[in-house]
Amino acid sequence: NAGVTQTPKFRVLKTGQSMTLLCAQDMNHEYMYWYRQDPGMGLRLIHYSVGEGTTAKGEVPDGYNVSRLKKQNFLLGLESAAPSQTSVYFCASSYWDSTEAFFGQGTRLTVV
């Protein structure tokens, strides 16, 4: 099992460019999440999904969109990247409510 895999691991974008971060899990988990982590801070929830075809907003959703067309994938999109979106992005998944979450190794995004 690969667990939770994030693609890409590193990316540099210019302001205004768009990109999509891919999160894939092979554990048949219902719940998936996207977080961002800025230096010296904890993780902040961007968006999450409680099942295929569903999405919901977290703490800091502005500037991001998500889609969960397939159960195993959760995509995070930046339509027009801004320097404030420079961060490390983590994806996670969990089977159901009150179960442990598994995290990917992160995507380091720099917007210049």
Partner 1 sequence: DAKTTQPPSMDCAEGRAANLPCNHSTISGNEYVYWYRQIHSQGPQYIIHGLKNNETNEMASLIITEDRKSSTLILPHATLRDTAVYYCIVSGVGNQFYFGTGTSLTVIP
Site residues, partner 1 (CB under 8 A): 4, 31, 33, 35, 40-45, 48, 50, 56, 58-59, 88, 90, 92, 94, 96-106
Task: List the Cα angle 19/3/108 in 5-degree steps.
Answer: 35
Nearer to partner 1, 12 or 56 (CB): 56
CB 17, min distance to partner 1, A: 24
Nearer to partner 1, 17 or 71 (CB): 71
Q: Are 44 and 60 in contact (CB under 8 A)?
A: yes
CB 108, min distance to partner 1, A: 8
